[in-house]
Amino acid sequence: MPTIGIVAGEASGDLLGSHLIRALKKRRPDLQFIGIAGPKMQAEGAKSLFPMEQLSVRGYVEVLRHLPGLLSLRKQLKQYFLKNPPDLFIGIDAPDFNFTLERSLKKNGIPTVHYVSPSIWAWRKGRIKKIKSAVSHMLALFPFESAIYQEANIPVTYVGHPLADMLPMEASMEEARDSLKLKCSSRVIAMLPGSRQSEVKQLANLYVNTAKLIAAQQPEITFLVPLITRETRTIFQQAIYDNKAEDLNLQILFGHAHMAMQAADAVIVASGTATLEAALIKRPMVITYRMPALSWQLLKRMNYLPYVGLPNILAGRFVVPELLQHDATPEKLADATLRLINDEVLMKEIREEFTRMHQLLRQNTDEKAADAILANL
């Protein structure tokens, strides 16, 4: 029975992996998958040798703290795959972990496919040589990435972004508001401070104080804050209490991030995949992010692009504002959000740009990725 080694490092990779496994099994029901998998991949039949949470570490300083455990985990995986060679290995995102593992496997004759190109176009362009030594075939989510790999003679397939297939071209604001029992006529702002506790700790006070400033000017606005764990909800609720903001018209939702964005006139969102989700739902946004000071300094030194949000990167210009680190103040964030929601012409232009983006990224990703992988098997 053909075996595919597979490693996903966090929730977004688990989602990608689950769809990919389903598409592959549709063509080849005999395939089995083993490595590091989250709950969604395991539900599709993947066997996980270690908990996926051990890989879910972000930020340079944070990674350093967990480095001994990560190195030990990678060594154990490498030993397992060299002793029990899979017919092919798929690394899903988690490039710092997966590339080293892939290099060892490729050197030992195991074909390697990497799903999700790392952001070499934004920073760390020197890593293209490392990628070439590690990857037999790259699956790229964004169209502009293909040229980078072709230039370096690395086989590549542009597969589009799975979110563009999953999300409808037109997301009904009325349906989402009806589900959340919100008035169709009211103004709504969704605030997404991230999924990790560390992110919410960095952004909770900023978001609460921003909401206070916006509400002072437009008291009728409703704020929606989707959070996926009890711990992140507790952090945000504490920020509301600490900043004496209990009177805010603010609802904390247990998950339902897509629905919150769909119900919103505009979104305040932490940089990351959620910015692309907001764009595909066609909601104007203000992108913001804060991280520990040392991580920020290291990141700044490597940055090649003037923007970090995926919608701006895809457009090649500032379609929506970004307020990062020291610029991420309640005053600037409130001002940028109010300017956005009070300018109907700008809101319409942004929605039209996001519709073009959606059409470009909708490529039937799972099937394209499965085709490319089976061609390498």
**DSSP 3-state assignment of 274?**
helix
* Predicted structure pTM score: 0.83
What confidence tier does 196 reach under pLDDT thresholds 50, 70, 90?
confident
C-alpha neighbours within 13 Å on the C-beta side of residue 351 = 19
Q: Is the pLDDT of residue 205 over 50?
A: yes
Report the percentage of the chain scoring pLDDT > 70: 90
Query: What tokens appear for 215 in the block?
Result: 């509400």
Q: What is the pLDDT of residues 23-76, one digit of tens each?
A: 999 999 999 999 999 999 999 999 999 888 766 555 444 445 556 767 888 899
Determine contact, residues 201/349, Cβ cutoff 8 Å: no
- Model pLDDT, residue 119: 76
What does the alpha-carbon distance between residue 351 and residue 279 come to, in Å, rounded to a whole number? 8
Give the pLDDT band of residue 110 (cuts 50, 70, 90): very high
Q: Which pLDDT value is given to residue 184?
A: 77
pLDDT higher than threshold 80 for residue 136: yes
Structural domains for the chain:
3-160+362-376 (3.40.50.2000), 173-361 (3.40.50.2000)
Element (H, E) at 12: helix 11-27
Quick one: pLDDT at residue 59? 46
307, 308, 311, 315: CA torsion to nearest 10: 30
CA angle 174–178–182, rounded 5-degree value: 95
Given a cut of 50, whether residue 169 has pLDDT beyond it is: yes
Q: Which residue has the higher pLDDT, 12 or 123?
A: 12
pLDDT of 61: 43
pLDDT at position 129: 85
Query: pLDDT, tens digit, for every residue of 84-96?
Result: 999 999 999 888 8
Selection from 371, 7, 367, 364 nearest residue 163 by Cα: 364
- Sheet strand arrangement including 188-192: 250-254, 222-227, 188-192, 266-270, 285-289, 322-324
Instruction: For residues 162-178, give the mean pLDDT.
Output: 94
| Position 364 confidence tier, pLDDT thresholds 50, 70, 90 | very high
Least confident segment among 192-196, 348-352, 360-364: 192-196
Long-range contacts of 311-314 (CB under 8 A, 24+ apart): 311/275, 311/276, 311/278, 311/279, 311/285, 311/287, 311/353, 311/354, 311/357, 312/287, 313/121, 313/122, 313/142, 314/142, 314/144, 314/279, 314/357, 314/360, 314/361
Element (H, E) at 114: strand 112-115
Q: Is 201 exposed, middle or buried (0-12, 13-18, 19+ CB in 10 A)?
A: middle
Four-residue CA torsion sign, 165, 187, 250, 210? positive
Q: How far apart are the first and last CA of the chain?
A: 13
Q: Using an 8 Å Cβ cutoff, are 86 and 3 in contact?
A: yes
Helix (H, G, I), strand (E, B) or coil at 92: strand
Q: Which of 243 and 69 is assigned the larger pLDDT?
A: 243
On the question of pLDDT at 109 being above 80, the answer is yes
pLDDT given at position 334: 97
Q: Report the phi/psi class of residue 53: left, alpha or beta, with left for phi > 0 and alpha for psi in -120 to 50.
A: alpha
Provide the pLDDT for residue 80.
Answer: 96
Non-local (6+) Cβ contacts of 344 within 8 A are none
pLDDT in tens, 252-301: 999 899 999 999 999 999 978 899 999 999 999 999 987 666 665 666 66
Average pLDDT, the chain: 90
The pair of three-digit structure tokens given for residue 358, joined into one six-digit string:
């959606």
What per-residue confidence (pLDDT) applies to 284? Answer: 96
Give pLDDT, residue 120: 66
C-beta of residue 270 within 8 angstroms of C-beta of residue 199: yes
pLDDT, position 300? 63
